[in-house]
Structure 1
Amino acid sequence: MSSHEPMEPLSPSYLASDLFGYQAALTDEESEIILRVRRFLAEEVAPRANEFWEKGESPRHLLPRLAELDIVGLGYEFDGRKPHRKVLTGWLGLEFARVDPSTGTMFGVHSGLAMSSISILGSAEQRDRWLPAMRRMELVGAFGLSEPDGGSDVAGGLSTTARRDGDDWILNGSKRWIGNATFADLVIVYAKDEEDGEVKGFVVEKDFDGFRAEKIEHKYSLRAVENADLYFEDCRVPGANKLENANSFADTGKVLRLTRGGVAWSAVGVMIGAYEKAVAYAQEREQFGKPIASFQLISDLIARMAGNVTACLGLAMQVSQLQDQGIYRDEHAALCKTYCTTRLREVVGWAREIMGGNGILLDYDVIRYFVDAEALYSYEGTSQMNNLIVGRGVTGFSAFV
């Protein structure tokens, strides 16, 4: 290898940015799924990612193609098919976020938050009723927990209420930041029961009276995710749409615990996307008669990015393996999420720095990763709240007030 040739991947199927070869932990079947998705993203998502981001529209035309890829709901059991490992579903999140975090979020909200709510908290009848159609993308799901005046106090601060009325439930209140909700067929809604004060879960269908969704405008992170404000005005929900096993916020936490680790995988994917763009730019961009990759300051930034990518990928892999082994705890999810999204901010900043003025042009992609990183940093628990969860797990003392 000559001095100016880049390092080759450890395997032709690996990403060049996977310097330590973490993909080797995948089985042959899992690697084939990853490669199939990687080709799809390169051919059908990457060419139009900036277009949809700039328009602020979700690439809904991809929904049937996602169904054809047979990757929806891989973490759940269907028709006797055993659920795939969390290592695989996590890596899928990485691949999506590496190309377009917005498309990855659109997919993750449906296949992760919405489907997992039904899979974990629904009855057998409810799983049979909704999950097969969701797997085929005939029904698109959304997840409604966040509220306009709520934030880190969500565990005890839900203002959306549910009141039993005969066999039905009546919902009143509002939700905010709900991805996919402008076009979803089903929204999983969590509300506080007026009778016992506990959080219950409901499947609200788009045509229910008293329910409406309004797209949030002027959003500049994950622009191609159509987040919405949801309004419930005496919205009547049939008793059969109340998730049978969603009867407390602790039950809701079972879903969040799984998906928080998924945010870390997405963070690694965004890191890799920005890192790869920056490396390619540094190899091609010339100043003072030579590529800027030959400058010490640029090489230092690239090495720092590579270190963050490698460390965070290893952390995400281990968290998924803990999930697969059934020994995954809240502090594992919290540490992985807060550490990876914090390192993400560093990586996208350094990638932007390497590109100089071109770094603020959408044509070069990095500015999209740069601002999209801010949403990942904030959602599924702020860095500070996740740190408190970690501290509680390590010391046994809670610093929550």
Structure 2
Amino acid sequence: MKRALFVTISIIYFAISASAQSETPTPSPTPVPRIDLIDEQKKLIEKETELLEARTKYLKAYADAAGASSATRDNTGGKTAFQLDKEPILETIALSYEAVDEIAGRVESRIKPFMGNYDRIVLFYEPDFLSLSRYRLYREEAKLALANYEALIKAVEEEAKKQDVEKVVGIESIDRSGGSMITALSMPGIAGAAVKSVADLISLFRTDTTISESINVIDTKSINAVIAGKLLGSQSGKIIYNPEQFVPEYDIGIGDPNSFYQTVSRLRASAGYVDYLMEAIDHMPPKQQRSEGTARLIASIKIVKKQLDLLAFKIEQDPIPETSAEKAAYTEFRSMVRAEKLDRFLNAASGRTGILKVRLLTSGGSRRESRNLLLGTKTDYSGSAVIELALYDTDGTMRISEVMLHHTGFRKFRTQKVKP
């Protein structure tokens, strides 16, 4: 037993001794002096400097061999420059009109839900709508003036019967001269036709100025024509009226006894008869002028003459007005004819008229040129338009009010081929 214990202890001792001999410590390296590290860093920096100098010399030699170069910071690297064309080019104008056409299609879709409320649509045209109030006031004043004229004629007849004479204030009564004198009470349609013929003569000389349009900018008035075309093309069955495209000289409603032409003709005929009365008064004896009945007639004649003078239009035979007064009278006469057309359209029997206002706020386009030495130059164009849209009833109730815009995006311009 003792022997076995001794052997075990001996084995453990030898194992511990062998392990201790195998774990001999490794000696630590000798530290490099700091001065040597600094020298190594200096050598590394010197080598990097030599490399940079070599690269600089290489680039300089390459530039000298290639010659002078215009490459600068401003013209390399994809810089984008902007400039303003003095006059728009045709491509941008065409695309801007295309943008207007696209917006017109959107306008048609936008107002479609409301179209069931109307049986007719009138496009807003500011000059005619501004003339509308003057026209309506003129019709009321003309109605009053003609009523006063008729009352004056009756007074002349009654005074003639009262005095039991064939003439009063030096002229024949209406009944005795009615066969030869054209008055407001017995006026054939030829008087209205005479006024119409003057307007027809004027129309022969107006087309030269209306077709002289510049193509440098989009015509702001063209939007109504585009919208009207879209509405007509929709085949909705609605009656469309665009006042801007209405030519008053071609109005065929002159035969209507209540037309503006007939009213002006009656006023002119009445004014002629009143002028004749005024001339007769000048030749009357002073004593007769001071008589009670004649004095009242003279006062009435002067009042009616003043009313008729205020409502008169000076329509010259010369189709090209020369003076400012003639131009003003010519323009006012035509604006009244246009306003009458608009008034009749708005006051239709159905009363279901919608007013569509579309105003072109702005439009424009751009030309983009991309230059590349390898790919060459690429040019594309764009067009855009912004409009104001409003729809309302004749009583002013608003249905739609918004702003629409469309941009075609940059693209290559392609000429449309005309279909045979």
TM-score per shorter chain, which class?
under 0.3
Which structure has more relative contact order (CA 8 Å, sep 6+)? It is 2
TM-score by length of 2: 0.25
